[in-house]
Amino acid sequence: MSAQAKRFSGANIAFGVLGWAVALLMFLPLIWLLVTAFKTEAEAFTVTPQLFFEPTLDSFKAALAQGAGYWHYAWNSVFTALASTVIGLMLTVPAAYAMAFYPSKRTDFTLVWMVSTKFIPAVGVLVPIFLVYKTIGLLDNVWGLIALYTAMNLPIMIWMVYSYFRDIPKDLVEAANIDGASMGQTMLKVILPLATPGLASTGLLALILAWNESFWSITMTNYQASTLPVYIASFKSAEGMFWAKMSAASVLSIAPIIVLGWFAQRQMVRGLTFGAVK
């Protein structure tokens, strides 16, 4: 079969159509969000959705207005996401390094156990954590939030970095040992440079997960440490839903991460499949 014929074979066309359909389905809410953000509240609220309307920036203006505090929330989001990612990576690298290059009998168990902690629903630990935070005064505190995000992302980060490290031949570590490198030097000069793509995509994932996190932000913060999800939620008030403003706020909240994701997506795909195809 020629390449040409292969490209247009029935199966490929079917997969192509399916791919587009799924993609549309997934992006529809996002598109709807974007469209709604340019409507007036009245237009946004109609029962039969209006497809044709005069776009307005009113909602964005309102969302960015002084009193709404977008920049306050945005700064908290940036800071918590970045800090939890950096701290997470600093903890992840040595942990994954030890497990990948100096495995013990319990390494496999430890890995599974770590990831299994992600199966506990967050609400299940909300009350104890809330009480602890209350006692030690970390409620509505960015560092309290950062600690939570770091802990939340650590299992998946360690797992990911571990699988990158596992793909690096152990011979390299041994060669470095013989060449006279200490464990730290081996890690910094041999292993980390080789794992850079993996570390980058792990960091990116942690960043996105922390950025998107709303449960802890909404429950553990009030205003001081609140992140963008709290800001979005604030448009749902006792007087009712402000769909258009909420949409505008949402667009403003996800825009940075979408832009970042756009630039990083090649890296990301490569990173996530790194372990699968050698």
Site residues (vs another protein, CB under 8 A): 169, 171-172, 174-182, 185, 189-190, 193-194
Closest CB to another protein among 117 and 185? 185
Report the nearest approach of another protein to the CB of residue 171 (Å). 4
| The token pair that represents 166 in the structure block | 């596992």
Closest CB to another protein among 46 and 185? 185
Backbone angles phi, psi at 240, to 5 degrees: 130, -175
The position carrying tokens 């390449």 is 3
Which parts of 137-169 fold into alpha helices (H)? Answer: 142-166
Closest CB to another protein among 27 and 167? 167
- Asked if 180 and 111 count as a contact pair (C-beta separation under 8 A), the reply is no
Closest CB to another protein among 83 and 195? 195
Nearest alpha-carbon partner for 249 in 237, 238, 239, 260: 237
Closest CB to another protein among 134 and 179? 179
Report the nearest approach of another protein to the CB of residue 194 (Å). 6
- Alpha carbons 134 and 128: distance in angstroms, whole number: 10
Report the nearest approach of another protein to the CB of residue 189 (Å). 8
Report the nearest approach of another protein to the CB of residue 89 (Å). 19
Report the nearest approach of another protein to the CB of residue 188 (Å). 12
Residue 22, Cα to own-chain centre: how many angstroms?
Answer: 22
Classify 181 as helix, strand or coil. Answer: coil
Bridge partner list, 236: 241
